[in-house]
């Protein structure tokens, strides 16, 4: 380092040449100065920094620089040959069990100033289409590379019978309640549809005018009817949406691959939702207080719809859900029809029974308590039962990630061939 610093003449620092001073500011002046510095250090021109050399005509200065630079090229050429020989020796001595591979387009590189530079042991960087710089380094990539991680891509759904899901909301809810589930399932490669049942969500139908389960389930039935002949879907239902889902399973058994009941009404043949909740374990004080019956036809007639007491929503349905989802539900929930609740469901083993069913239990549920969920599972056993710990009656809000994992797991289960 000491020799490098002594190559700089104090006179050169104080008195730049006329030609270099006329170049103006920027890279040209710097490159001119650096070339003169290189020539003076090489020993080819010991008087390049003298006052006499500076005052010579420009033509002679150029000739002398050309001669000096020609001599420098000869020395550089020798250095290049020696470096190349050493590099080749290094490559030839690489152990056989090494993973190192000699780059196929290993080549020399020249300096940016126009002169010949030393041989480079690394390829010139290339830019990929994404804008990243790729080098020719052939060492084994680390598994903890901070830029590109192996298997970092989101795993898609494995081969299954279908990757299309249809989400059916519960009583009082709408398609809006599935916004988290829709996002998570789509990230896993699913095509997801959420329906608004009649009188729910953005439906303009007055809930009090709905008189049957068929009427309430019309949007779901129309959707299944519109599917292509060989297309199947996975039905996912919540709460009272389970009754609508069961009705659709009986109507369109060839359109449904699997049915998933999430803390949902899963009725046996000849049973109604009201029958289910009339059991000793099916009702509690909070449930009775949270429901408000509406009588559009007068109190001398049966109720026409059921609504929720907004002041009890947190304790009854959303006690484990985030406050923002509680707020969303408070302004979005609508009354749901009463007539479908008292209607008995009639299903057959040939249609309804041919579809694979799965049940997801919500373990912190106050609206449909765990004992009542167990009663439904015992009376109408599904193929498999899953548990969502820490989930209230709205697991799509309280445990969205865990719910998504279970749904993906169910979707991946290989379909059974009919015997």
Q: Which residues contact 246 (CB under 8 A, 6 or more apart)?
A: 259, 265, 266, 267, 345, 347, 352
Q: Which residue spans within 135-180 are E strands per DSSP?
A: 164-168
Residue with tokens 């052939």: 138
Residue with tokens 């969205």: 400
Q: Distance between CA 410 and CA 257 in Å, rounded?
A: 11
Q: Which of 169, 188, 238, 393 is catalytic?
A: 393
The answer to whether 193 is a known catalytic residue is no
The CA–CA distances, whole Å, from 88 to 82, 91, 220, 398 equal 10, 5, 72, 64
- The DSSP line for 235-272 is EEEETTHHHHHHHHHHH-GGGEEEEEEES---PPTTB-
Q: Distance between CA 139 and CA 145 in Å, rounded?
A: 13
Q: Distance between CA 365 and CA 393 in Å, rounded?
A: 5
Q: How many helices (H) and strands (E) does the chain have?
A: 18, 11
Q: Which of 196, 239, 325, 392 is catalytic?
A: 239
Q: How many residues does the chain have?
A: 419
Q: Which of 68, 196, 365, 392 is catalytic?
A: 365
User: b/e for 280-293, b at 16 or more Cβ within 10 A?
Assistant: eebeeeebeebbee
The answer to whether 73 is a known catalytic residue is no
Q: Which residue spans within 115-207 are E strands per DSSP?
A: 126-127, 133-134, 164-168, 191-195
Exposed, middle or buried, 363 (CB in 10 Å: 0-12/13-18/19+)?
A: middle
Active-site residue list: 239, 365, 393
């Amino acid at each position: 380092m000491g020799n490098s610093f002594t190559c700089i003449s104090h006179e050169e620092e104080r008195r730049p040449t006329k030609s270099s001073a006329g170049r103006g500011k920027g890279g040209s002046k710097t490159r001119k100065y650096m070339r003169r510095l290189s020539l003076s250090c090489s020993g080819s021109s010991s008087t390049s920094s003298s006052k006499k050399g500076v005052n010579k005509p420009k033509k002679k200065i150029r000739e002398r620089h050309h001669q000096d630079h020609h001599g420098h090229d000869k020395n550089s050429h020798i250095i290049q040959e020696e470096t190349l020989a050493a590099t080749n020796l290094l490559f030839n001595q690489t152990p056989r069990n090494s993973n190192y591979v000699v780059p196929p387009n290993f080549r020399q590189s020249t300096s940016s100033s126009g002169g010949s530079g030393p041989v480079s042991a690394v390829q010139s960087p290339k830019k990929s289409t994404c804008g990243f710089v790729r080098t020719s380094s052939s060492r084994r990539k680390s598994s903890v590379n901070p830029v590109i991680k192996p298997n970092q891509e989101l795993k898609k759904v494995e081969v299954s019978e279908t990757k299309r899901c249809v989400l059916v909301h519960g009583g009082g809810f709408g398609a809006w309640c599935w916004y988290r589930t829709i996002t998570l399932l789509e990230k896993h490669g699913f095509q997801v549809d959420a329906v608004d049942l009649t009188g729910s969500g953005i439906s303009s139908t007055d809930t009090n005018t709905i008189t049957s389960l068929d009427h309430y389930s019309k949007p779901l039935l129309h959707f299944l009817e519109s599917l292509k002949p060989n297309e199947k879907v996975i039905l996912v239902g919540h709460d009272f949406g389970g009754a609508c889902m069961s009705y659709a399973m009986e109507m369109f058994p060839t359109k449904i691959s699997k049915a998933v009941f999430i803390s949902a009404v899963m009725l046996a043949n000849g049973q109604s939702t009201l029958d289910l909740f009339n059991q000793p374990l099916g009702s509690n004080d909070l449930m009775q207080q949270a429901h408000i019956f509406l009588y559009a036809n007068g109190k001398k007639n049966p109720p026409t719809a059921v609504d929720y007491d907004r002041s009890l929503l947190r304790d009854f349905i959303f006690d484990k859900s985030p406050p923002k989802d509680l707020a969303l539900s408070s302004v979005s929930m609508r009354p749901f029809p009463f007539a479908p609740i008292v209607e008995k469901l009639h299903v057959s083993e040939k249609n309804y029974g041919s579809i694979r069913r799965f049940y997801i239990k919500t373990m912190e549920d106050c609206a449909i308590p765990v004992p009542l969920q167990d009663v439904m599972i015992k009376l109408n056993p599904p193929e498999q039962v899953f548990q969502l710990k820490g989930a209230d009656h709205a697991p799509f809000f309280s445990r969205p990630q865990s719910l998504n994992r279970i749904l993906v797991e169910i979707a991946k289960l290989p379909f059974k061939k009919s015997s």
